[in-house]
Chain A
Amino acid sequence: MTVGPVPFMALAAILFAIGLFGALSKKSAVMVLMSLELMTNAVNLNLVAVSRFVTPESMAGQFTAAFVMVVAAAEIGLGLALVLALYRKRRTVELDHIDELKG
C-alpha cells in the first residue's frame, strides 16, 4: 500500500506545534529545552519523510537528519550544562525569575 509523505508530515507538524507551545509557555528551563528537542525531532521526521517519498534516489534528507541529530545532541548537552550552572547560582530554573538584564 502506498503511504506517501503526507501522514509523516502531518505527524511532524503536530509534534512541532506541541514543541512550540511548550517552548513558549513552559516556566521551567528544562521543559523549554525538552520542547526545543521535540521541535528539532519533528523537523527531522519531516526531512526524512520528504526525502524517502519524494526524492528516494538522493538521500539528502537522511543525511541532513543525521547531521541535525548530532548537532542537537551537542546543543542539548551545552544547554543542560548552562541550566545546571544557572541552578547552582540561583537555586531555581524558572525563566521568569532570571531577568537581571532588565534596565
Chain B
Amino acid sequence: MAWVALIPLLPALAFVVMLPMSRRARNAVRWLPAAATIAALGLSVAAFFAVLAVGGEEPVFRASFTLAELGGAPLAVGLRLDAVSAIMLLVVTIVAACVQIYSLDYMRSEDRRGWYFAVLSLFTAAMLLLVLAGDFLLLYMSWEVMGLCSYLLIGFWHEQDAPRSASIKAFLTTRVGDVGFAIGLAAMWASAKSFDFAVVLHGFEWTVPAATVVALGLLFGAMGKSAQVPLHVWLPDAMAGPTPASALIHAATMVAAGVYLVARALPIFHEAAPWVLQLVMAIGVTTALLGALLAVVQHDIKKVLAYSTISQLGYMFIALGAGSEIAALFHLTTHAFFKSLLFLGAGAIIHATHTQDMREMGGLRRSMPWTTTVFVAGALALSGVFPFSGFWSKDDILMVLYTGGHWYALVAALAVAGLTAFYMTRVCVRVFGGSEKAHAHEAHPAMLVPMALLAAITVVVGFTSPAFAGFLGEAKGWPDLGMAAVGTLAALAGIGAGVWVFGLGKVDTAVLKRRLPRVYAAFVNKFYFDTVYGIVFVGAYAHLSGWLARFDVSLIDGAVNGIASAWSKVSSVAWSADVRLIDGAVNGLAGAVTRAGGRMRTLQAGAVQGYQRLAYGALLVLLGASLLVPFVGTTVALAGGAVALLLMGVLVVRGA
C-alpha cells in the first residue's frame, strides 16, 4: 500500500521539475501538473476502494518517519489512510483535476501561466499531504505550505496593487491563527509527548484543562484558515487572484482545511471544557450570518461567492460545534463540488464579459446556455434545493441541530439558508435574467467539461448521504421528511423573495438604501471589520514599529552613545587633570628645583677666603665639640656641634 505516498508525491514532483525552468520551458510543460493530478486521482480512487474493502475504524495504511529525537524521545510524522482521508482524497483530486483542466484554457493568454500551474501543483500536493497526514505536525507543515501557495496565487498579478496587498493580508491573517495552532501543538506535545492521531485522539487520557488549551489553539488556527469571524477578512480580498485558483483554494479545499482539522481533532474537543464546543458553534453561527448578510450587497460576482463561502464554512462549524464531524464533512464535500462549480462558472462569465461587476452583466442565458445551466445547478445546490447535493448536506446539519436541541443555532441556520437562496437568486437574476447588456460567447469545451462533471457530481452526490455516513462509521437513514420540508421551505422563501425583489423589481432597493443609510453603510463597509483592523492592528503596529525604531536609535543606542560620549568627557577631564595636576606637579617640582638651584648658585661667588673661614670655623666647632665630650656627654656635644654648623650655614647663605 506504499503507493499511497505517491498521491501527494506526484504533484509535488511536477512542481519541483517545473521550478528551475525558464518561463518558456515552464509554459510548455504546463499540462504536467494536470497529468500528475489525474494520476493522483486514479490512485485516490484505488485508495478509496481499498478502504471500502477493509472497512472498520482502523486506518488501512500507516507510514511513519522519525524526524528527530528530542532528548531520546522520538518525534515522528507519518501518513494515514483511513475512511476520512479516503473521502478527502477523492474530493481534493477531483476538484483539483477539474480546475487544472479548466485553467489550461482560462490562463491561455497569460504570460506567466507556467508558474501558475507549478504553484497550483504544489498546492495540490500540500493539500493531499494534509489529508493523508497521520499526525498534527505534518498537518501543520502542509497547512503552512498551502498558505504559501495561496499567497503566491493571490498575488499572481503582483504588478497591480490589489493582488499584492491581498496576498500579504491573507498570509498574515491566517498566520494569526497559526500562532494559536502552534501553541496548541506545543501544549499537545507537553501533555501527550506525541502528535500522532492514534495516540492523541484515541490513546491518551486528556485532562480537561490540557484538552481545553489544545482545542482552543487548534480552533484558533482553524478560524484563520477557514475564514471564521473575526479572521475572515482575507477571503473576500483573495478574490484578486485568478478565478480557477479561487475555485480550488478559496472555495473547495484550503479553506476547508480548518474544518477538516477540527473534525479530526473533535475527540480532543469532546475532552475539553464544554464551553469550547459551544464557542465553536457560536463562531459558526456568527460567521454564517455575517457571510450571508454581506453576500446580499456585493456587486462583484466573485465577492458574492467569497462571502457565500464564508457563510457555508460557518455552517460547517455549526455542525462541528454540535459534535457531528460527519455532517460537517459531508457539507464540506458537497460544498467543495458546487462551490468550485460556481466559481468556475463565474470564471467563464468573467472571461466572456470582461467584467466582474454584475451590474454590467445580463441576459447571459441566451449567449451562454451551457454555462447558465451548470451555474444554476450550482446555485440551486447552494440554496439547498432538492435533489441537489446542498439540500442533503444542509438537511443533515439541521437534523443534527434539531436532535441536539440547539434551538438558536437551528433558527439561525434556517435564516441563513433563506438568505443564501435569496442572494443566489439575486445573482442568477442579475447575470442570466433580463436583457443582454453585452454580448458574450459560450465557454470553451476545455472549460465546460470540468464544469459539467462537477455539476453532474453535484446532482448525484447528495443521494450518497447515508452511504457517506456509513462509510465513516455512523448508521444513518434517509432524511426526516419534516426537517426536509422546513429546509426546503426556507430555500423556497429565499428564492421567492429574490425573484420578488430582483426579478420582478417589486422592491426599490435604492429607497431602502436612502431610508437606512447607516445600516447600508455598515453593509458596504463589511461591518467595519477591515476598518477596525486597519486602525487597531495594522495602523497601530506600524506606528508602534516606527516608534520602537526611533526609540531604539534615540534611547537605547542613545544610551550606548551617551555612555561613550560620557566616557570620552571623563577621559578628557582626566587628560586635563593629567596635564594640569600630575604633570603640573612634575613640572612644578622641576621649576622649584630650578629656582632653588638659581639661588644656590649665588653661593658660588668665588669668595675663597669666605670658604676658608667656613671650613676652619666648622673644624673649630667640631674640635670644640669633641673636647667637650668628657664633660657633657657625646650626644649633647654632637647635637651642639650640629646646631652650630647649621647656624653657620644659614649665616653664609643669608650673607650670599
Contacts and interface: CB of A to CB of B under 8 A. Distances in A.
B616 interface: yes
Interface in B562-609: 601-602, 604-609
A95 B604 contact: no
Contact of A102 (B606, B608, B616): B606
Given A20-B616, A24-B616, A102 B609 contact: no
A101 interface: yes
B606 A100 contact: yes
A32 interface: yes
Nearest to B620: A20
A25 B601 CA distance: 25
A103 B612 contact: no
A99 B609 contact: no
A40 B616 CA distance: 14
A17 to B, nearest CB: 11
Given A20-B616, A24-B616, A103 B602 contact: yes
A57 B423 CA distance: 157
A15 interface: no
B613 A24 contact: yes
Interface in A60-103: 95, 98-103
Given A20-B616, A24-B616, A32 B609 contact: yes
A25 B609 CA distance: 8
Interface residues of B, number: 12
A20 B609 CA distance: 11
A101 B606 contact: yes
A12 interface: no
Contacts of A25: 609
Given A20-B616, A24-B616, A103 B609 contact: no
B601 A24 contact: no
Contacts of B602: 102-103
Contacts of B607: 95, 99, 102
Given A20-B616, A24-B616, A101 B604 contact: yes
Contacts of B604: 101-102
B601 A99 contact: no
A99 B606 contact: yes
Nearest to A20: B616
Interface in B601-634: 601-602, 604-609, 612-613, 616
A24 B609 contact: yes
Nearest to B604: A101
A23 interface: yes
A24 B612 contact: yes
A95 B609 contact: yes
Contacts of A23: 609, 612
A99 B603 CA distance: 11
Nearest to A103: B602
Nearest to B613: A24
A103 B604 CA distance: 8
Of the listed residues B609, B613, B616, the one surrounded by the most CB atoms of chain A closer than 10 A to its CB is B609
A25 B312 CA distance: 139
A24 B267 CA distance: 131
B616 A99 contact: no
A44 to B, nearest CB: 18
Contacts of B616: 20, 24
Interface in A33-51: none
Contacts of B601: 103
A8 B64 CA distance: 135
Contacts of B656: 102
A81 B613 CA distance: 24
B606 A98 contact: yes
A98 B606 CA distance: 7
Given A20-B616, A24-B613, A24-B616, A95 B608 contact: yes
A103 B605 contact: yes
A23 B616 CA distance: 10
A19 to B, nearest CB: 11
A84 B656 CA distance: 28
Contacts of A102: 602, 604-607, 656
A102 B607 CA distance: 9
Contacts of A101: 604-606
A29 to B, nearest CB: 8
Given A32-B608, A95-B607, A103-B605, 10 more contacts: A20-B616, A24-B616, A95-B609, A101-B604, A101-B605, A101-B606, A102-B605, A102-B656, A103-B601, A103-B602
21 contacts: A20-B616, A23-B609, A24-B609, A24-B613, A24-B616, A32-B609, A95-B608, A95-B609, A98-B606, A99-B605, A99-B606, A99-B607, A100-B606, A101-B605, A101-B606, A102-B602, A102-B604, A102-B605, A102-B606, A103-B601, A103-B605
Interface of B: 601-602, 604-609, 612-613, 616, 656
